[in-house]
Amino acid sequence: MIFFKELFLFMKTRKKYWMIPILLFLLLLGILVIASTGSIAPPFIYTLF
C-alpha cells in the first residue's frame, strides 16, 4: 500500500495526471488476466485480442 501512496503523491506533486488512464488500464488488464485463469472465459478473452 505504501507504493500506491507514493505513486499517488508523485503524480499529484509533479502534475503527471496523464498517467492515471494508463495505470487504470493496466490494473483492469491485470484483473482480467487473474480472473480468467482456471475458468471458461479464456477462449472469449483471446478473441478480443
| Phi, psi angle pair for 38, to nearest 5° | 75, 25
Q: Given this model, what pLDDT does residue 45 score?
A: 66
Residue 36 CB-density burial (10 A; 0-12 exposed, 13-18 middle, 19+ buried): middle
In this prediction, residues 6-27 reach a mean pLDDT of 87
Give the residue extent of every domain in the chain. 19-49
pLDDT band with cut points at 50, 70 and 90 for residue 38: low
In this prediction, residues 28-47 reach a mean pLDDT of 74
The DSSP secondary structure of 1-49, one letter per residue, reads -HHHHHHHHHHHHHT-TTHHHHHHHHHHHHHHHHHHTTSS-HHHHHHH-
